[in-house]
């Protein structure tokens, strides 16, 4: 997985997008989204099975050796963009993005069986990483893992776990009590000492749970790596996927709002003919297209194996967070009163925009992460040039002697 970043999708990627778009438009209009989001499970299990059988979607980014389709993160992100466009509730985010990224980054070998059951769509996994304290500041995480015979026991609380109440398997990040380092563990839904409380959420198309573990039995999957590199990569891949999902959502909001301004007549003219409206749409278009460029670039950078992925992921996530929220606010404003009603669909995306803004870290947190990444690379280059300067002065003193 290395190469160069590209600025256009291939024919195959475009075809994939078109077919998925058709599928989702047919199966998941907002009338259906509204039914599903009020159901108990929060997703349509039959539709998820069709996505697996007809489109091989759950394993789109999983290697062929593990039973996946073997595509790159770009394809995962194309799927996310289409999911974001339609808001179709499905296990894709929890299983095929968050869990898949964690397994691929922290447990590529031990997680093979889990990956293949995710790829087939049989198993619904959820990643339990974040805690009540500290967003994605790994050092603040407290959940502990204590070895007991062959297995482990987990104690702690995990917060904002996507599909945490519905998943069959939880992937839990916990601190190994013997060495104080973080690692990824597998906990089955029926484990004793596991309590999952569905949280009340503003966006009911994305379910969250609070997960308590009290001596819950767990299997060790793999370490988080030096400097949490495996966790960082998980966060990078997930943030990039989320940024692309947000781009899909804001694009839909933009198109629907544009269409509405053309229909709506006030003062004897379509409101789209007022400069006050046109200028807002032009400005919004800029923010949407900048977010799209950053999200696509970051996806391509993940596939190209670029080493500043954390910087690019946080850049894409922060731009998308702000642009999506702006798009949602503008959509409601330009729809006027009807945009604030339950029956109008705009609020569905507004709620997704608001929850995506802070999910996986707020834009403020991600901008701080960008600068930290820059500082690290500045330090590295200073070290390097220091070494070079040292070599040179060494040469010089040698010549003088």
At residue 268, φ and ψ (nearest 5 deg) are 80, 10
Within 68-150, strands assigned E span 125-128, 144-148
Shorter beta-carbon distance to other proteins: residue 132 or 364: 364
Q: How far apart are CA 213 and CA 210, in angstroms?
A: 10
Shorter beta-carbon distance to other proteins: residue 7 or 342: 7
Which among 242, 226, 224, 376 is positioned nearest to 314, based on CA atoms? Answer: 242
Shorter beta-carbon distance to other proteins: residue 152 or 311: 311
For residue 86, the minimal CB distance to other proteins (Å) is 21
Q: How far apart are CA 191 and CA 255, in angstroms?
A: 46
Shorter beta-carbon distance to other proteins: residue 105 or 356: 356
For residue 274, the minimal CB distance to other proteins (Å) is 8
Shorter beta-carbon distance to other proteins: residue 118 or 291: 291
Tell me which DSSP letter residue 71 carries. Answer: -
For residue 144, the minimal CB distance to other proteins (Å) is 32
Q: How far apart are CA 267 and CA 339, in angstroms?
A: 19
What would the two tokens of residue 1 be? 């997985």
Shorter beta-carbon distance to other proteins: residue 124 or 296: 296
Q: How far apart are CA 133 and CA 111, in angstroms?
A: 28
For residue 369, the minimal CB distance to other proteins (Å) is 9
Matching residue, tokens 């990039």:
240
For residue 192, the minimal CB distance to other proteins (Å) is 45
Q: How many CB atoms lie within 10 A of CB 148?
A: 11
At residue 10, φ and ψ (nearest 5 deg) are -75, 170
At residue 167, φ and ψ (nearest 5 deg) are -65, 150
For residue 20, the minimal CB distance to other proteins (Å) is 20
The residue ranges that bind other proteins (CB under 8 A) are 6-8, 258, 261-262, 269-270, 272-275, 277-279, 281-283, 285-286, 289-291, 293-294, 296-297, 315, 318-319, 364, 367-368, 370-371, 374-375, 378
Count CA within 13 A, CB hemisphere, residue 165: 15
What would the two tokens of residue 13 be? 């990627």
Shorter beta-carbon distance to other proteins: residue 20 or 277: 277
For residue 267, the minimal CB distance to other proteins (Å) is 11
């Amino acid at each position: 997985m290395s190469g160069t970043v590209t600025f256009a999708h291939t024919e195959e990627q475009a075809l994939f997008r078109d077919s998925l778009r058709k599928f989702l438009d047919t199966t998941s209009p907002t009338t259906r989204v509204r039914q599903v989001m009020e159901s108990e499970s929060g997703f349509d299990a039959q539709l998820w099975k069709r996505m697996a059988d007809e489109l091989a979607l759950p394993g789109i980014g999983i290697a062929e050796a593990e039973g996946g389709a073997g595509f790159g993160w770009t394809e995962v992100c194309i799927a996310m963009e289409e999911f974001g466009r339609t808001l179709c509730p499905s296990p894709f985010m929890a299983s095929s993005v968050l869990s898949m990224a964690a397994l691929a980054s922290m447990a590529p070998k031990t997680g093979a069986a889990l990956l293949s059951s995710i790829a087939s769509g049989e198993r619904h996994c959820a990643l339990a990483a974040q805690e009540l304290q500290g967003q994605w500041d790994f050092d603040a995480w407290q959940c502990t893992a204590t070895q007991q015979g062959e297995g482990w026991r987990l104690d702690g609380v995990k917060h904002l776990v996507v599909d945490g109440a519905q998943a069959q398997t939880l992937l839990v990040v916990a601190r190994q009590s013997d060495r104080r380092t973080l690692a990824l563990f597998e906990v089955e839904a029926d484990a004793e000492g596991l309590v999952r409380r569905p949280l009340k959420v503003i966006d009911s198309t994305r379910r969250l749970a609070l997960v308590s573990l009290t001596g819950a039995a767990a299997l060790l999957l793999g370490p988080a790596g030096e400097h949490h590199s495996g966790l960082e990569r998980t966060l990078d891949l997930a943030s990039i996927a989320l940024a692309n999902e947000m781009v899909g959502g804001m694009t839909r909001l933009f198109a629907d709002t544009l269409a509405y301004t053309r229909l709506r007549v006030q003062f004897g003219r379509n409101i789209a003919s007022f400069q006050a409206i046109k200028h807002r749409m032009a400005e919004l278009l800029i923010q949407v297209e900048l977010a799209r460029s950053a999200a696509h670039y970051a996806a391509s950078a993940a596939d190209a194996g670029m080493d500043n992925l954390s910087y690019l992921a946080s850049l894409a996530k922060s731009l998308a967070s702000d642009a999506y929220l702006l798009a949602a606010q503008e959509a409601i404003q330009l729809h006027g009163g009807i945009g604030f009603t339950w029956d109008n669909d705009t609020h569905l995306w507004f709620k997704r925009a608001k929850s995506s803004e802070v999910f996986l870290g707020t834009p403020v947190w991600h901008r701080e992460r960008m600068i930290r990444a820059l500082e690290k690379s500045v330090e590295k280059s200073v070290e390097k040039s220091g070494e070079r300067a040292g070599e040179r002065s060494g040469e010089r003193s040698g010549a003088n002697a």
